[in-house]
Structure 1
């Protein structure tokens, strides 16, 4: 397990938004965990025993059809938390939660988080705001998948991933990206080729290096900016929590 000087709860933006006294109260219940690629944190219809606050990992929320095809409906990185169904009353969801990008995060027993939420502490308002932002991401993903080109969808996905990782080098196969977007691998190959020819990315053997982020932001559809604007709007002064 890495040392505490390398990993801190405040590397997750939700935890960082809490006042020092609030975070200190939760700290003893937060467990640092490694989140390996492909790890299934929750199956369709399953109940979460823990909520997760990713710091360097990214979790994909996706739905798997009866024929085995799947599509991502949202992602959760260092901006959020996995487990909003816990306090929304549904307890379970039809989607799966799988680690898309390996890394670390903090987990907390679901029962303890529910107790904290039900006490109407500041974390309740914070998590409700995050849930609204997550709902925006889910709805905008549905709109994007229906109305925009694969190239635009790929730009959106790349930018959201960059925001969560804070780096320009991604380890990701075309097969996995195609699964995330719910499209054929050939479509991703063609879209990535266009972006590479335009000098925006360099792709080789499962690694994507973003060379021109500004170019991606000009090329992407409005869906990326809608999601980013909503997160910024809801959390512009998060320290008040």
Structure 2
């Protein structure tokens, strides 16, 4: 494998050897839809870079993000739980690469290999914790704190201080309109935590962002570290 996916790299050697022949390395371009609500899940994806977004869509077409994933995880988590479809829209928001495997084949391998299934179940627990934390944050934190949280989460997954994040993506992440995104970006810039230009955010002060986000950030990250080891190189 050219780059590591954290879950794949954590597998026992024999489990990885059984999985590898079925993994197809692919590009994951921005706006690629990995799964759609109610449709049968054909493939499961293990990114090695880039950011995927899991979005819940209302019957009227309104949408908001409940979680992100990158090289630390896989999608959809519902497949790990035995579901053949996913109630969410999963789309790549930042270009990347990774591996895909037929869901039916992954089902077979999980049934044969309990250590593989246990590892992926721990990921499903972590992703559920992230979704729950997002719901709490949307209810109790300011837009500015929520933006700081999402910038930190993207920073964790991209491995660099320069991030291509469009206003459209940020508005879905924050469940607010674009003018509110612009205002929140100006606040973080004013605090000298980031630079913002066009569709690019540059992190200036990681520790300052964490302090600004307060308790909006860290719960699901700590759960990942507890169950799977800390994936954040920082």
1:130 aligns with 2:123: yes
**Alignment correspondent of 1:83:** 76
In structure 2, what is the equivalent of residue 169 of structure 1?
A: 162
- Mind listing any 5+ residue stretches in structure 1 that lack a counterpart? none
Q: Does 1:17 align with 2:10?
A: yes
The alignment status of 1:209 with 2:233, answered yes or no, reads no
What's the RMSD between the two structures over aligned residues? 1.6
Moved more, 16-25 or 106-115: 16-25
1:49 match: 42
Partner of 1:153: 146
> SS of the residue aligned with 1:55?
strand
Deviation (angstroms), 1:237: 9.2
Q: Does 1:63 align with 2:65?
A: no
Name the SS of the counterpart of 2:60 in structure 1. Answer: coil
Residue 106 (structure 1) aligned to one of 99, 111, 127: 99
CA 1:237 to 1:161, structure 2 compared with 1: closer, same or farther past 3 Å? closer
CA-CA distance at 1:20 after TM superposition = 2.4
Cα deviation, residue 25, structure 1: 2.1
Deviation, structure 1 residue 118: 1.2
| CA spacing shift, 1:87–1:229, aligned 2, 3 Å | closer
Deviations 1:56-81 (A, max 9, x none): 02111101223332100111211111
Count residues with an aligned counterpart: 231
Whole-Å separation in 1 of the counterparts to 2:215 and 2:42: 36
What are the equivalent positions in structure 2 for 1:185-196 lying under 5 Å apart? Answer: 185-196=178-189
Normalising by structure 1, we get a TM-score of: 0.91
CA distance in 2, matches of 1:233, 1:223: 18
Structure 1: distance between partners of 2:155 and 2:116: 27
Is contact 2:82–2:107 with CA below 8 Å preserved after alignment?
no
Q: In structure 2, list runs of 5 or more residues that go unmatched.
A: none
Contact 1:153 1:221 in 2 (8 A): no
Query: 2:173 corresponds to which residue?
Result: 180
Query: How far 1:202 moved relative to its partner?
Result: 0.5
